[in-house]
């Protein structure tokens, strides 16, 4: 293979169908894919498809910085810096995605801010607020914690820790982890919180329903009528509902400040260009207690990403990721976390579940498309009006999008059970218990501390301190914070339960699906790292027959 063939951005023959390990056994998955991982659609089409990928995760990309900004008091103390913080998330997302898709695991997965690290971030902000710290002090403290957590994740990835654990993780473990990625998000604010935008405004269920209805119609009923409906159902659905909301906002049907209002004035008042650069808020501070909390959030994001990798491979009609690919992916996510800390997002960087859902709905799994979208996001981050335009998408529209995508992700996770003997009681018990625990334990954690002046982590620490014999250990800040963050992340709870039970309850390899799983998993040699490609080993496209 020539050096030109190895370049990520060179042309790839459209008529070469992925035929990696096990793909031949999954014609439905391969047939569903419109563009495979190695495919390169026309440039104009790729730009629209790339923007669509990023529109699916715009809710998180805007909600996370807005949540941090509100907690840090930026709206009152420095309202002009909020848009810059959002822009920083866009820039970091774009650069981290380019790094992951070219140097990391080379899967078409968007990288960006993570809710797993938002919980400890808000806890850190709460402690600093009690000390009277300003928003800049809070941000540099968050930066330091994220950087250290990222360094640890780099070590976890590139030393092969996750790859070694993979041999103990079969379909019985992976299925509930992926399913919970979707199911555990049923109560995100854009769907469940009736007062998401402002007290008393309530949720606009008909606008949420309109968005959901449009995406379902475009992707499931009209996809055979025209190719545009198959490729762009999310983009068309959001644009349609967004346009309706904008018209109703301009005509006064939606009151300013309501959950459905489209604030177009914020777009015209945004600065044309906004400065985003390393250490823009100041040099990072490193506080041990804060680092431990962020470390727990990082571990939760690692488990989520592990599930995302398997989900993308399954949707794209490829074999399950090898240990080598997983290690490179987790290691690169650690690099993304370090970069996020340096740039000052106050949050980490991980694989986006929303992006996985977009692939499942559209069948577009092209790495090139995601890279084009990443370049667009970098430009959007520096171009103030564009970032503000994305920020005007009302929460109910994002909620409608999530309703469709998260359900699709849950179904993809459960489809992994096709390799498992479901007549074996052990398997049914493990999957059911893991799913229920993954929903119940985080719900419990969300209720801890309610009605008390203490935060949830502090209230849990006080309760654990009263445990006989073990209270002296469980009641420490480190242990309590770790348990609170991990226990509040559904896919981690479900994954841990399934992992322990699947590896301790007796069962044959055939019953557990491990034999079929081994046949479907790609060999380490099939993933060619960036270093290997520089040495001339060639790209990691799947093998094709001699006739091709």
**Structural domain includes residue 364:** yes
- How big is the chain, counted in residues? 548
Mean pLDDT score of the chain: 82
More confident position, 2 or 90: 90
pLDDT value of residue 139: 95
**Structural domain includes residue 546:** no
Pairing of strands 350-351, 111-112: antiparallel
pLDDT value of residue 146: 95
Alpha carbons 348 and 360: distance in angstroms, whole number: 25
**Structural domain includes residue 208:** yes
pLDDT value of residue 2: 43
Are the CB atoms for 391 and 266 separated by under 8 Å? yes
User: Dihedral angle at the C-alpha atoms of 261, 264, 269, 274, nearest 10 degrees?
Assistant: 90
User: Mean of the pLDDT values across residues 473-482?
Assistant: 82
pLDDT tens-place string over residues 490-520? 878 898 999 999 999 999 999 999 888 778 7
pLDDT above 90 for 97: yes
Q: ∠ at Cα 35 (29, 38), nearest 5°?
A: 100
| Percent of residues, the chain, with pLDDT higher than 70 | 88
Alpha carbons 86 and 64: distance in angstroms, whole number: 9
Instruction: Tell me the pLDDT band of 461, cut-offs 50, 70 and 90.
Output: confident
**Structural domain includes residue 156:** yes
pLDDT above 80 for 152: yes
Number of domains the chain is built from: 1
**Structural domain includes residue 327:** yes
More confident position, 494 or 116: 494
pTM: 0.75
Minimal CA–CA distance to 281: which of 132, 142, 77?
142
Alpha carbons 7 and 162: distance in angstroms, whole number: 28
Contacts of 129 (CB under 8 A, 6+ apart): 71, 72, 73, 138
Expressed in percent and rounded to 5, the helix, strand and coil fractions of the chain are 65, 0, 30
pLDDT value of residue 31: 53
The lowest-confidence range among 71-75, 427-431, 481-485, 536-540 is 536-540
Contacts of 500 (CB under 8 A, 6+ apart): none
pLDDT tens-place string over residues 383-419? 888 777 877 888 888 888 878 877 877 887 888 898 8
**Structural domain includes residue 540:** no
User: Mean of the pLDDT values across residues 430-437?
Assistant: 96
| Tally of helices (H runs) and strands (E runs) in the chain | 29, 2
pLDDT above 80 for 14: no
pLDDT value of residue 540: 59
Residue 333's Cβ-count burial label (10 Å; 0-12, 13-18, 19+) is buried
pLDDT above 90 for 463: no
What are the beta bridge partners of residue 351?
A: 111
Alpha carbons 99 and 77: distance in angstroms, whole number: 35
pLDDT value of residue 542: 52
pLDDT value of residue 15: 40
pLDDT above 50 for 149: yes
Please give the residue range of the domain that contains residue 205: 30-278+287-417
pLDDT value of residue 74: 85
pLDDT tens-place string over residues 294-341? 887 788 788 878 888 988 888 888 888 999 999 999 999 999 999 999
**Structural domain includes residue 387:** yes
**Structural domain includes residue 397:** yes
Per-residue b/e over 9-39, b at no fewer than 16 CB within 10 Å?
Answer: eeebeeeebbbbbbbeebeebbeebbbbbbb
């Amino acid at each position: 293979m020539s050096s030109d063939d190895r370049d990520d951005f060179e042309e790839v023959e459209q008529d070469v169908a992925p035929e990696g390990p096990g793909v031949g056994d999954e014609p439905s998955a391969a047939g569903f894919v419109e563009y495979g991982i190695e495919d390169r659609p026309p440039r104009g089409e790729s730009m629209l498809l790339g923007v669509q990928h990023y529109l699916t995760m715009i809710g998180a990309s805007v909600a996370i910085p807005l949540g941090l900004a509100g907690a840090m008091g930026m709206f009152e103390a420095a309202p002009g810096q909020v848009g810059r913080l959002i822009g920083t998330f866009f820039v970091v997302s774009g650069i981290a995605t380019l790094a992951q898709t070219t140097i990391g695991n080379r899967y078409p997965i968007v990288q960006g801010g993570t809710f797993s690290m938002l919980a400890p971030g808000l806890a850190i902000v709460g402690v600093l607020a009690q000390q009277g710290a300003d928003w800049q002090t809070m941000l540099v403290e968050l930066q330091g914690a994220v950087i250290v957590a990222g360094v640890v994740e780099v070590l976890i990835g590139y030393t092969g820790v996750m790859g070694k654990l993979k041999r103990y993780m079969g379909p019985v473990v992976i299925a509930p982890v992926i399913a919970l990625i979707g199911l555990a998000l049923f109560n995100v604010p854009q769907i469940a919180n009736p007062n998401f935008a402002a007290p008393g405004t309530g949720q606009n269920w008909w606008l949420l329903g309109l968005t959901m209805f449009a995406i379902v119609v475009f992707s499931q009923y009209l996809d055979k009528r025209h190719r545009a409906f198959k490729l762009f159902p999310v983009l068309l659905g959001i644009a349609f509902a967004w346009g309706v909301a904008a018209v109703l906002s301009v005509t006064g049907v939606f009151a300013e400040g309501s959950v459905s209002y489209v604030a177009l004035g914020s777009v015209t008042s945004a600065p044309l260009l906004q400065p985003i650069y390393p250490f823009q808020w100041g040099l990072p501070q490193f506080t041990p207690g804060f680092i431990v909390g962020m470390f727990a959030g990082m571990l939760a994001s690692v488990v989520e990403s592990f599930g995302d990798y398997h989900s993308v491979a399954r949707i794209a009609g490829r074999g399950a990721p090898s240990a080598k690919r997983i290690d490179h992916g987790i290691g690169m996510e650690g690099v993304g976390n370090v970069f996020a800390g340096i740039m000052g997002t106050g949050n980490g960087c991980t694989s986006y579940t929303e992006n996985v859902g977009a692939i499942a709905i559209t069948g577009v799994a092209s790495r090139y498309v995601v890279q084009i979208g990443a370049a667009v996001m970098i430009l959007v981050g520096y171009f103030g009006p564009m970032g503000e335009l994305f920020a005007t998408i009302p929460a109910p529209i994002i909620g409608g999008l999530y309703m469709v995508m998260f359900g699709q992700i849950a179904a993809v996770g459960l489809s992994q059970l096709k390799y498992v003997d479901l007549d074996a009681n052990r398997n049914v018990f493990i999957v059911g218990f893991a799913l229920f625990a993954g929903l119940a334990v985080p719900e419990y954690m969300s209720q801890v501390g309610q009605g008390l002046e203490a935060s949830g982590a502090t209230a849990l620490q006080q309760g654990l301190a009263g445990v006989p014999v073990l209270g002296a250990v469980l009641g420490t800040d480190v242990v309590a914070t770790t348990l609170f963050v991990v226990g509040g992340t559904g896919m981690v709870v479900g994954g841990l339960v399934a992992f322990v039970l699947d590896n301790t309850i007796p069962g044959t390899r055939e019953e557990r699906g491990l034999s079929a799983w081994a046949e479907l998993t790609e060999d380490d040699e099939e993933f060619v790292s960036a270093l290997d490609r520089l040495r001339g080993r060639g790209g990691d496209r799947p093998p094709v027959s001699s006739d091709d």
